A and B are shown apart, each in its own frame.
Chain A
Amino acid sequence: MHNFEFVKPSSIADAVAALAAEGAQPLSGGQTLLPTMKQRLAAPEVLVSLTGIPEMQGVCTGDGGLHIGGATPHAVVAREAASHYPALAALAGGIGDPAVRNRGTIGGSVANNDPAACYPAAVLASGVTVVTSTRKIAADDYFQGMFTTALEEGEFITSVIFRIPQAAAYVKFNQPASRFALTAVFVAKFADGVRVAVTGASNNGVFRWEEAEDALTADFSAGAIAGLTASAEDMISDLHGSAAYRANLVKVLTGRAVTAAR
């Protein structure tokens, strides 16, 4: 790890100011950023911690659905979202291990947009609004491919607002080593239709499987997608799974998520 400055502002405005400094980068739970720095793959000059800002902490219901502060750890979401949005709470409770869940945060995860991360699937499937230090971004406009998002330099996520579906489930198939998603599917059924978001599978990051959404909107049952095949084109192929294998998982896990949805 290289040397760096560390600041911990207590308001969003102070964080915005701190992030304007040359070489500054937000630090939330540090579960992604710190290992990268230890391996000397990243060397920010200033780390601006977002964990000391009260407005960015916690889970509450409000306008548009469930508001989760950007610096809320996974463990808190697992606990406090359980009665409002069980599928989301279960997702948060299945990330990493207790240490990761108590440090890692929703904002860090959504900002990082790892192609195998869990939260992006929930965000995309729930039709979330991503609230940042400068604006509101719809989920469909937010994710722009692996590790790429609509966030601009110096902009950071202050909260995420989830629409609460009638029924939903997240089914994750673990990559055997990292236990990130080898492929995982979030299915959410809303009054105005079903959304199916897939993570871990595509070279373009999290995506919606629209064919399945149409079929499930018409008939919300595992059988409704029996005749579909997810295309293996553009799927990730690596040590842990070929593109064809991942395409198969997309379909199998979508079916299982529909069955599990509540």
Chain B
Amino acid sequence: MPKDTGIGASTKRREDVRFLTGRGVYTDDLSLFGQAHAVMVRSTVAHGRIVSIDTSAVESMPGVLAVFTGEDFKDVGGNPAGWLINSRDGTPMREPKRPVLAHGKVRHVGDAYAAVIAESYAQAKDAAQVLSDATEIEELPAIVDMKAAAADASNRVHDEIPDNICFDWGWIEDNRAAVDAAMKAAPHVVTLELTNNRLVPNAMEPRASIGEYFPGTGDYKLTTTSQNPHLTRLLICAFVMGIPENKLQVVAPDVGGGFGSKIYHYGEEALVLAAAKRLGRPVRWTAERTESFLSDAHGRDHVTKIELGCTKEGDILAIRTETYANVGAYLSNFSTATPTFLHGTLMAGPYKVPHVYVNVKTVFTNTAPVDAYRGAGRPEATYSIERVVDKMCRELGLDPFEVRRRNLLTPDQFPYTTPVGLVYDTGNYQATLDKAVDLADVAGFEARRAESAKRGKLRGMGLSTWIEACGIAPSHLVGVLGARVGLYDAATVRVNATGTISVMTGAHSHGQGHETVFPQIVAEKLGIPASSVEIVHGDTAKIPFGMGSYGSRSLAVAGSAMDRAIDKIIAKGKKIAAHMLEAAEGDITFADGKFSVAGTDKAKTFGEIAFSAYVPHNYPLETLEPGLEETAFYDPANFTYPAGAYICEVEVDEGTGKVDVVAFTCADDFGNVMNPMIVEGQVHGGVGQGIGQAVLESTSYDENGQLLTGSYMDYAMPRADDVPFYTVDHSCSTPCTHNPLGVKGCGEAGAIGSPPAVVNAVIDALQRGGHSHVTHIDMPVSPNRVWQAMNA
């Protein structure tokens, strides 16, 4: 019988009631008395020198209240990169200033260099157009292609960075010679050059911010679309504006999806605060969809050469990669971590590979900044590995399932130290592979292929065995890796006098379902109904200092903090109970919502204890403070390592090149599962995004740096009929060994593991269909590309 409450129950998402009935309250839904409207003036050229901005052209236009340009922010700080990376030769990365508004130069189409504030949105929009026309920008040649950018010293995105390279990173540099030697000695070497296509995040809710300033107290308030309000506050206060942290409240109300793009602090947030102060009025800004395309941080965009050395039997001996990673025009907050520590450290995959070396050159271009996007670095690593392993199987005529089994780590090898710096704590990769093979009915594939052939379709099957490091966290580890912040999280559990509970969590929910899952855990541990538990998140004035949600970390890190805080509540409850029941504290047990004296029928309910804590008439006041509220900060000992096996089946239409994903099976190990329905939903969403990347989504800039795919007319998002009904399973679970809940995180898995499974299936279909010359097609495997490949 599945549970209907508490941990492990598929409780329906309570937040969906408001989301699905249009009662969510998003930033743009707020309307404040006296509010003014900001419209950003954005560059229409990819690269240029700002010659003049004639603000007098708009200052007397109807409704215009203020105009800001880069000049207004030249004395405040820049928006920093959160991770400091050193190049192979030990030199620190180059970190150009990222100003609130572009100053001196514009560096990508959509780079905001001015803002107009007016009484109405329409007036601000009119004035922004006039200001754009009244701006002279001397256009410079656009730097779009990464390899050309790195090779050309004369044309620079940032004048002070000669070769447009941010850093040239080696991981692990000391192992390089050994890896080269192993590669040289390998009986067979497989080489693959591939592109991990740039993606536009496309959260359903565009970015929006409202700034307020209260002159009476000197306090600021920012309401914004953020995945991590405390981090945004820290960046604005400590790096950009110099506002004391205690004087800025950051609120992220309902947020309609982020996928990474709302982790980062953006210039518009600083702009609305500065404007609110200057005008003494609330100032609001909401991105139009075009602005989202042009100015949200994009994802992926790697060009990689991967080599794999192996025996003729398919034992992997060495992996070596060289990657060019696009960071765009400026360093967004996680942009330097994504291609390095979230990518290079995963390059051994789930395999026992003795020698691995990763080189990443991070390049500035005149394109939108690129940063972490669902999976962040790990999809890029997984795609490279799983594609090259697949190619190895084809070159050597080996069965891809057998080759995986040969190389996967076995359960007895954990904890396992990889050659790229991680320690995998636990796993059972054979189990998930066997499960996937079973659920996908691999044995029945030939029959399905024959049936597809009858309908004129080429059918193929692709496999991916993947691993990721998530729950990003350990502060000591990320500190060694260059992070400028810690990555713990925090929770306050406040038991109210009447026994209900408010949990203030540092995690932020923007679609994940925390408001449902966190109460399930509280309910299970305290033996009270989940409906008595409320989750408070997204407001720096209410919650403890937490680091927000990304990297599949909410449950593993913030959930663990909550778990610890609940333990403290129980411990204090026992003290109160001991007093009330006139027993020794050591004799008190807590179960099913009752504090009991062991071996007797004397007991107090959780509610009675809570009441007594707030109405302490019969209470040990000499030794115990009243009240029942506990805070815990939790900093894990390690990343968590979800892993799994994905099997994809596609049909290819030979006449048109169209790829249909017809079956997709996931066998995942997420450790303990708190709410199976939500976990499955996360996998569905992730795989949907992975299929989107593999089959549909392409971000294309022309040679002048104009975004050709700047709207849904040209940027193809996956829709319901682009994806099959998924088969998902998470029964092969090996609980995480180092967090109290034993959870690993499931938010990104689908997007990490799925793209190579899709592309491997397409190559399989073409090979079986007689197109044996096709060994690789870059994503997205669009009809045009597949047809070109077949007919090349």
Which residues of A are interface residues toward B (Cβ below 8 A)?
Answer: 39-40, 173, 176-178, 182, 239-242, 245, 248-249, 252, 256
Q: Pick from A176, A178, A252: contact of B782, CB below 8 A.
A: A176
Bound: A241/B658 CA distance, A: 12
Given A177-B696, A240-B784, A245-B787, 18 other A-B residues pairs in contact with their CB atoms under 8 A: A173-B656, A173-B658, A176-B782, A177-B715, A177-B716, A178-B712, A178-B713, A178-B714, A182-B783, A239-B698, A239-B709, A240-B714, A240-B782, A245-B784, A248-B791, A252-B655, A252-B656, A256-B655
Bound: A40/B788 CA distance, A: 38
B-chain residues with CB within 8 Å of residue A39 when the two chains form the complex: 290
A selection of 22 A-B contacts at a CB cut-off of 8 Å is A40-B129, A173-B656, A173-B658, A177-B696, A177-B709, A177-B715, A178-B713, A178-B714, A239-B698, A239-B700, A239-B714, A240-B714, A240-B784, A241-B783, A242-B784, A242-B788, A245-B657, A245-B783, A245-B787, A245-B788, A249-B656, A252-B655
If A40-B129, A239-B698, A240-B782 touch, does A248 touch B715 (CB 8 Å cutoff)?
A: no
Bound: A242/B226 CA distance, A: 40
Bound: A184/B20 CA distance, A: 37
A-chain residues with CB within 8 Å of residue B709 when the two chains form the complex: 177, 239
CB distance from A255 to the nearest CB of B (A): 8
CB distance from A61 to the nearest CB of B (A): 34
B-chain residues with CB within 8 Å of residue A40 when the two chains form the complex: 129
If A176-B696, A240-B782 touch, does A248 touch B787 (CB 8 Å cutoff)?
A: yes
Bound: A245/B657 CA distance, A: 9
B-chain residues with CB within 8 Å of residue A241 when the two chains form the complex: 783-784
Bound: A241/B714 CA distance, A: 12
B-chain residues with CB within 8 Å of residue A252 when the two chains form the complex: 655-656
B-chain residues with CB within 8 Å of residue A177 when the two chains form the complex: 696, 709, 712-717
Closest 8 CB pairs of A and B: A177-B716, A252-B655, A176-B716, A241-B784, A178-B713, A245-B784, A177-B714, A176-B696
Question: Interface majority SS on B: helix, strand, loop or mixed?
Answer: loop
Bound: A177/B656 CA distance, A: 16
A-chain residues with CB within 8 Å of residue B637 when the two chains form the complex: none
Bound: A248/B786 CA distance, A: 13
B-chain residues with CB within 8 Å of residue A249 when the two chains form the complex: 656
Bound: A171/B783 CA distance, A: 16
Bound: A178/B714 CA distance, A: 6
Does residue B708 face the partner (Cβ distance < 8 Å to A)?
Answer: yes
Q: B700-719 toward A: CB 8 Å interface, digit per residue (1/0)? A: 10000000110011111100
If A40-B129, A177-B713, A178-B714 touch, does A239 touch B783 (CB 8 Å cutoff)?
A: no
CB-nearest residue of chain B to A246: B784
Bound: A173/B787 CA distance, A: 14
CB-nearest residue of chain B to A40: B129
B interface residue count range (under 10 / 10 to 19 / 20 to 34 / 35 or more): 20 to 34
Bound: A62/B735 CA distance, A: 73
Bound: A241/B788 CA distance, A: 9
CB distance from B647 to the nearest CB of A (A): 24
B-chain residues with CB within 8 Å of residue A240 when the two chains form the complex: 714, 782, 784
Q: Is the CB of A176 within 8 A of B655?
A: no
Q: B679-699 toward A: CB 8 Å interface, digit per residue (1/0)? A: 000000000000000001010
CB-nearest residue of chain A to B696: A176
CB distance from A4 to the nearest CB of B (A): 13
A-chain residues with CB within 8 Å of residue B784 when the two chains form the complex: 240-242, 245
A-chain residues with CB within 8 Å of residue B714 when the two chains form the complex: 177-178, 239-240
B-chain residues with CB within 8 Å of residue A245 when the two chains form the complex: 657, 783-784, 787-788
A-chain residues with CB within 8 Å of residue B782 when the two chains form the complex: 176, 240
CB distance from A141 to the nearest CB of B (A): 30
A-chain residues with CB within 8 Å of residue B658 when the two chains form the complex: 173
Residue among B658, B708, B784 having the largest count of chain A Cβ atoms under 10 Å: B784
CB distance from B63 to the nearest CB of A (A): 14
Bound: A241/B700 CA distance, A: 14
CB distance from B477 to the nearest CB of A (A): 41
Bound: A178/B788 CA distance, A: 21
A-chain residues with CB within 8 Å of residue B715 when the two chains form the complex: 177
Bound: A130/B705 CA distance, A: 43
CB distance from A56 to the nearest CB of B (A): 28
B-chain residues with CB within 8 Å of residue A239 when the two chains form the complex: 698, 700, 708-709, 714
Bound: A248/B655 CA distance, A: 8
CB-nearest residue of chain B to A97: B719
If A40-B129, A252-B655, A252-B656 touch, does A176 touch B783 (CB 8 Å cutoff)?
A: yes
CB distance from A249 to the nearest CB of B (A): 6
CB distance from B715 to the nearest CB of A (A): 6
Which B275-307 residues have C-beta < 8 A from chain A? 290
CB-nearest residue of chain B to A241: B784
Bound: A178/B696 CA distance, A: 12
A-chain residues with CB within 8 Å of residue B712 when the two chains form the complex: 177-178
CB-nearest residue of chain A to B784: A241
Bound: A117/B363 CA distance, A: 41
Bound: A240/B717 CA distance, A: 14
CB distance from B25 to the nearest CB of A (A): 25
CB distance from B279 to the nearest CB of A (A): 26
